[in-house]
Amino acid sequence: MQFTALQIATLLKGQIQGDPEAKVSHVAKIEEAGDGSLSFVANPKYEEFLYTSKASVIIINDSLELTGPVNPTLIKVKDAYSSFAFLLEKYNEIISRSGKNGIEQPSFVSKTASIGKDVYVGAFAYIGENVMIGDRVQIYPGCYIGDNVVINEDSKVFPGAKIYNGCSLGSRVIIHAGSIIGADGFGFAPQKDGSYKKVPQIGNVIIEDDVEIGANTTIDRATMGATTIRKGVKLDNLIQIAHNVEIGENTVIAAQTGVSGSTKLGKNCVVGGQVGIVGHIQLADGTKVNAQSGLSKSTTAPNTALNGSPAFDYKSSLKSQAIFRNLPELQQRLLKLEETVQILTDMLKEKNGIEEK
Amino acid sequence: MQFTALQIATLLKGQIQGDPEAKVSHVAKIEEAGDGSLSFVANPKYEEFLYTSKASVIIINDSLELTGPVNPTLIKVKDAYSSFAFLLEKYNEIISRSGKNGIEQPSFVSKTASIGKDVYVGAFAYIGENVMIGDRVQIYPGCYIGDNVVINEDSKVFPGAKIYNGCSLGSRVIIHAGSIIGADGFGFAPQKDGSYKKVPQIGNVIIEDDVEIGANTTIDRATMGATTIRKGVKLDNLIQIAHNVEIGENTVIAAQTGVSGSTKLGKNCVVGGQVGIVGHIQLADGTKVNAQSGLSKSTTAPNTALNGSPAFDYKSSLKSQAIFRNLPELQQRLLKLEETVQILTDMLKEKNGIEEK
Amino acid sequence: MQFTALQIATLLKGQIQGDPEAKVSHVAKIEEAGDGSLSFVANPKYEEFLYTSKASVIIINDSLELTGPVNPTLIKVKDAYSSFAFLLEKYNEIISRSGKNGIEQPSFVSKTASIGKDVYVGAFAYIGENVMIGDRVQIYPGCYIGDNVVINEDSKVFPGAKIYNGCSLGSRVIIHAGSIIGADGFGFAPQKDGSYKKVPQIGNVIIEDDVEIGANTTIDRATMGATTIRKGVKLDNLIQIAHNVEIGENTVIAAQTGVSGSTKLGKNCVVGGQVGIVGHIQLADGTKVNAQSGLSKSTTAPNTALNGSPAFDYKSSLKSQAIFRNLPELQQRLLKLEETVQILTDMLKEKNGIEEK
């Protein structure tokens, strides 16, 4: 798709300086933009790129005073960053919705399923018994929506995501490709002969509004009750959420982190990548966990920052890590001290006749 | 589905105290149970919840002596825990099998495939050439069963799991959604120009009876021979098992752990989450590995417990970790000691004319 | 499939010693080979197995001088290892291509898609609008190829891999089952009320020639521009590559490693399993990273070896790790020294009247 500077300026209610017919076909960062690029400058530290940029069109703040000649066509707006973000959203909407409407064939939709208005169901998607799909939901090709699942309006389930029976998704939820919602929790009772017997996992997973879940992430159903992902939570790719976990509102978790069974994270927590959290603990609101940490204890004070495996207070942990690097030197100092003290001891023994300890 | 206290008591051969017509529609933990809940009390420490519970029906041990009035209908049995587990299993069977029978359309079943009795093949499942599917096997929608795969009776392959050609599954095996069995092992021969040449991976994966494998776990095929998952093994989600690995009978591994090529784990090992195990080592029977550990050496004594990255003896490792937290204090003590010894040295030098070392 | 020693010898231009009609149906390592096995001996340390092997046919170097009687039929060639590898490749080609040709039904191929010659599209595969598929490409069952994706000749996309709209694959690329290419990067702008707003991710993923990507790995699309996987890169299973990352030519990464946003790895790097690399750093060509390390800083010197979390110089890190194991002993030595110094101090105080410090 191509757009002219004039079309963009009209959309943004901005003023054009340069050729209104300049055409753009893609967006780029100002430092990487070439012919056909639309870019923007909002941060003064990128202003220098304006004068050498090969972009075709650049959006700038109307408060910016140019200090030299500029080749690309400029569009002046009140807030260049917001205007650019607005364009990205519009563009993204066009891209992601284009042609994605209606029920593609072949797909499998149970007769007992209830499908809302303006829904997209891709080819090879499977919609089980008694499923309820809200208005404008998009189910991409190859998804599996198990029996009795509820998906509320404006949610998107990307290709090949699988939602086991009985789970529910709120409104505006995004599930990326390959994620598995509601597989059995990992529960086995050890038997006398060393084998294990499966503990039935008959709960479900409840995902509230405005949650986004990355690709190939797994969220297990509860043994009983629900594994719960609260409103506004953002989970990255390849994350493991075990049975009966609860993730509090607006908590954000980076890729490859694992949360063990029955643990509860508070609101607005920020958890780095590859973190491990043991089962049956609670993290207070606003807990911050550094990447690769291992948490084995609850936090009770809000906004605690943690680091390390096992994790403890963030700042103390950094100090210990710094000394860890210098352990060889520390050991050397200890050895030298032992020698010196031995010399002192020998001297005093000799001179003063100390008894051997 | 709704059940009455009478129906449940009949099934469990228990005695009713209260309203035999009390109705339940779901199960819940005693501390979370509300109207319509079926719950149980087996552990004396939960007995207190009996007297305030809003559950509709509660299963208790007939040996329990009540110390106050109870609102919910009670069902008295010999062993409340076993009875409840028995109900969960029955319930789970009903839920998971309801309507899951026969070959849904559209699906792809090769003419050369052999399909047992009472098999479920979901829509969009793919069954390749010469595949053998045993009786009562369930292949959920969107699964891929490659050429020459064998799946023995009563196994379940959940939606979207992929089994590459030539692999075999025992009886009563459960593979959860999105797991990949038999992709190529990671084998590449370095070339002189810095590039890598693929080493063909022509072995397979053999999964024995009663194994359960979680969601999005990957088990690579052997270079030659077989990657082998022995009887009764339980693997959690997002686990990586590399080529030619062998996991011994009844070994249990938690989520996000990785086992590198040709390593062999013994029987009855218990491995925590996010553990990494290097290639070409052996772990003795009953080895226990704490979460996030990194193993680079074999264990020969059975039942060894390990911790840390790199891992060593569990108890010693905990001691080192405790001191790690106090490294700043330890460093401080060392510094103070150096100062004191310097003072002593200076004094003795002065008084006794020690030569500089 | 069965082959005779004669057929194999003819293919390899080797000389037969023994029965030319000896039949093999599979390959095996010399130490595990049984009846019907084809095996090889190239390394002198495996020569001993020749004299006891139950293999049916063994390939050996023609320079090898036998020191005893051998039961299996031998095929003598100039380079036994290369000949065996050549056979494996041939065998693998036969296995993996057999019958995999044409467009299986049902599948979904957009009218606007362009499909090359001798292409395989498996059942339940989805090919979106304007997709370009090169000659001899294999798209296995259940794959999703989004709108405007380009896949160049001789590439293979294994069952259930998902490629989001606008991404491109070079020639001879292999994508294993369940991998997700081009899901949205993890970008959210924090809002004043504690919630997050999605930052549109409108870039793509570019995968160059000869790349192999393991099972269930995720590679996110760029916010703007491209996440780039250069020529010859090999990625193992369950790896996370975040938005705008660049992986340099011939770099190899083991399973479960994660690379955060905008980080650039140089050429010929070797990264172990379960490594975490923070965002916005650069690793120089040839950087080597040990398993489970955590990198938070760029490397500028080529071929640097790193270890630990946080990672630093490999050899220094091993020293610190060794001392870590002995921290209890080190602490004990410090304690003993403190006691000795206290005794010395007391003695000197008493004898010489030192002032308390």
Cβ atoms of B172 and C62 closer than 8 Å: no
Interface test with B, best of C95, C124, C180 (most B CBs within 10 A): C124
The Cα A312–Cα A297 span in angstroms is 9
Q: Which amino acid is at C220?
A: D
Q: Provide the chain A residues 49-88 that lie in CB contact (below 8 A) with chain B.
A: none
pLDDT of C145 > 50? The answer is yes
- Determine if the peptide bond prior to C310 is cis (ω within 30°): yes
Query: Using one digit for the tens of pLDDT, what is the confidence trace for B18-47?
Result: 999 999 988 888 888 889 999 999 888 888
What phi, psi does C126 have (nearest 5°)? -125, 120
Restricting to A residues 177-196, those with a Cβ less than 8 Å away from any Cβ of C are: 177-178
The pLDDT confidence band at residue A98, using thresholds 50, 70 and 90, is: low
Q: Strand A37-41 to strand A26-27: parallel, antiparallel, or no bridges (unpaired)?
A: parallel
Secondary structure class of B87 (helix, strand, coil): helix
Least confident stretch, A76-85, B263-272, C299-308: A76-85
pLDDT at C25: 86
Stated as kind and residue range, the H or E segment containing A75 is: strand A73-77
Name all chains with 3 or more CB-CB pairs below 8 Å to chain C: A, B
**In 3D, which of C174, C210, C176 has the Cα closest to residue B243?**
C176
CA distance B200 to chain C (A): 6
Give the per-residue pLDDT at C356: 45
- Tell whether omega for the bond before B106 is within 30 degrees of 0, i.e. cis: yes
Q: Using one digit for the tens of pLDDT, what is the confidence trace for C26-41? A: 888 888 888 999 999 9
Residue-wise pLDDT tens digits, C1-17: 688 999 999 999 999 99
CA distance C352 to B346: 13
Q: Reduced to 3 states, what is the DSSP secondary structure of residue A263?
A: coil
A107 at C interface, C-beta within 8 A: no
For residue B109 the two structure tokens come to 């079943």
B177–A162: do the CB atoms touch at under 8 Å?
Answer: yes
Nearest-by-CA chain C residue for B323: C327
Q: Is B234 on the interface with A (CB under 8 A)?
A: yes
- Look at residue C124 and tell me whether its pLDDT is greater than 50: yes
pLDDT at B98 over 80: no
Other C-beta atoms within 10 Å of C154: how many?
19
- When pLDDT is cut at 50, 70 and 90, the band that residue A357 belongs to is very low
pLDDT tens for residues A110-159?
Answer: 999 999 999 999 999 999 999 999 999 999 999 999 999 999 999 999 99
* 3-class DSSP assignment, residue A334: helix
The residues in A 32-51 lying below 8 A from C, measured between CB atoms, are 32
pLDDT in tens, A237-271: 999 999 999 999 999 999 999 999 999 999 999 99
Q: Compute the mean pLDDT over every residue in chain B, rounded to the nearest whole number.
A: 93
Which tokens go with C3? 């082959």
Question: Does the distance separating the beta carbons of A273 and C202 come in below 8 Å?
Answer: no
Q: Does pTM surpass 0.95?
A: no
Across the strands, what pairs with B189? B197
φ, ψ dihedrals at B40, nearest 5°: -150, 155
Compute the mean pLDDT over every residue in chain C, rounded to the nearest whole number. Answer: 93
pLDDT band at B354 (very low <50, low <70, confident <90, very high): very low
Residues 336-355, chain C: which have Cβ within 8 Å of A? 337, 340-341, 343-344, 347-348, 351
Rounded to a whole number of angstroms, the distance from the CA of C232 to the nearest CA of chain B is 6
How far is the alpha carbon of B306 from chain A, nearest alpha carbon, in Å? 14
Q: Quick check: A353 pLDDT over 70?
A: no
Q: What is the DSSP letter of B159?
A: T
Q: Which of A126, A294, A323 sits opposite B142 (nearest CB)?
A: A126
Structure ipTM? 0.89
Report the distance separating Cα B36 and Cα B68, nearest Å: 22
Give CA angle at A21 (A16, A25), nearest 5°: 100
Which one of B238, B326, B336 makes the best mutation probe of the A interface by having the most chain A beta carbons within 10 Å? Answer: B238
* B243: annotated active-site residue: yes
Q: Confidence band (pLDDT; 50, 70, 90) for A277?
A: very high
Catalytic pick among A26, A176, A243, A280: A243
Please tell us whether the domain made up of A102-316 is placed in CATH 2.160.10.10. yes
Mean pLDDT confidence for A286-300: 97
pLDDT score of C261 more than 80:
yes
Contact yes or no for C292/B276 (Cβ under 8 A): yes
Q: Residue B106, Cα to own-chain centre: how many angstroms?
A: 33
Give the distance between the most distant pair of CA atoms in chain C.
102
Of chain C, the percentage scoring pLDDT greater than 90 comes to 81
- C33-56 burial code (b ≥16 CB/10 A, e <16): beebbbbbbbeeeebebbeebebb
Residue labelled with tokens 């046919």: C57
Which residue of chain A comes nearest to C308, CA vs CA? A325
pLDDT (tens digit per residue) in B106-123: 999 999 999 999 999 999
CATH number for B3-97 (one of 3.30.43.10, 3.40.47.10, 3.40.1390.10, 3.30.70.260): it is 3.40.1390.10
pLDDT confidence bin for B318, thresholds 50/70/90: very high
How distant is the Cα of A325 from the closest Cα of chain C, in angstroms?
6
**pLDDT for B356 beyond 70:** no
- CA distances B255 to A74, A212, B275, Å, are 52, 22, 9
CB contact set of A73 (below 8 Å; sequence gap of 6+): A5, A16, A17, A18, A19, A20, A22, A56, A57, A58
Amino acid at B10: T
The answer, yes or no, to whether residue A104 has pLDDT greater than 80, is: yes
Give the residue with greater pLDDT, A93 vs C212.
Answer: C212
pLDDT band at A356 (very low <50, low <70, confident <90, very high): very low
Residues of A in contact with B317 (CB under 8 A): none
Domain ranges of chain B: 3-97, 102-316, 326-357
Nearest to B341 among A188, A256, A337 (CB): A337
Residue C357 in contact with partner chain A when CB distance is under 8 A: no
Given an 8 Å threshold on Cβ–Cβ distance, is A327 in contact with C320? Answer: yes
Dump the DSSP string for C58-126: EEEETTPPP-S---SEEEEES-HHHHHHHHHHHHHHHHHHTT--EE-SS-EE-TT-EE-TT-EE-TT-E
| pLDDT per position as a tens digit, B145-159 | 999 999 999 999 999
Span C289-314, average pLDDT: 97
Q: What pLDDT was estimated at residue A348?
A: 83
Of A176-180, B38-42, B226-230, give the lowest mean pLDDT range. Answer: B38-42
